[in-house]
Amino acid sequence: MSGGAKKREIERRLLLAKYPRASGRSDVPLVFSDDDDHDPLVLEDCPSCHGRGTRCDERGGVASLDACDACDGAGTTFELVRYFASSAPAVEVAADDEGWATCPGCSYRFSTRSPAAWTGRRHVRCGQRIVLT
């Protein structure tokens, strides 16, 4: 391995240790904070394998699971992107007495008590910024 290749490999390992993956396939936890408007930087998933790092080839009735050629099995492009694609302005939404609200971005109802659906500032499904009233 040449000096440039070693440096690139070290940079990639540091990125994997510091940033979560967009697909969630990561040991680094995804943290939503006010510092980044609940839209953290993540490593972009490989567009060819959708973050899996593998691809299935079928030839002559035999299937094989191989490392993705585009990302060399890493599952990421190693580019930093924002977790949410939505940059829409915040919208005021009223939650009912049980803590349920309807997202103005995607029209899904969600529980404001569920961290799987609500970051405290954004709807997890679509990334819409919401101010609860």
- Choose among 90, 78, 102, 3: nearest CA to 38: 90
Contact (CB, 8 A) for 110 and 90: no
Could you read off the pLDDT of 34-62 as tens digits, one per residue?
999 999 999 999 999 999 999 998 988 89
What is the band of 3 on the pLDDT scale with cuts at 50, 70, 90?
Answer: confident
Could you write out the DSSP letters of every residue in 60-77?
TTEEEEEE-TTTTT-SEE
Which band of pLDDT confidence, cut at 50, 70 and 90, is reported for residue 25? confident
Q: Is 1's pLDDT higher than 80?
A: no
Q: Comparing C-alpha atoms, which of 97, 123, 101, 121 is closest to residue 111?
A: 101
Could you report the per-residue pLDDT of 81-128, keeping only the tens digit for each? 999 999 999 999 999 999 999 999 999 999 999 999 999 999 999 999
- What tens digit of pLDDT does each residue of 66-83 get? 999 999 999 999 999 999
Q: What is the pTM of this model?
A: 0.83
pLDDT of 21 > 90? The answer is yes
Check residue 90 and report its DSSP letter.
Answer: P
Q: C-alpha distances in angstroms, 27 versus 16, 22, 120, 133?
A: 9, 12, 23, 35
- Backbone angles phi and psi of 12, in degrees to 5: -65, -40
Residue boundaries of the structural domains of the chain: 1-83, 86-133
Neighbouring C-alpha atoms within 13 Å toward the C-beta of 16? 14
In which band, very low, low, confident or very high, does the pLDDT at 2 lie, cut at 50, 70 and 90?
Answer: confident
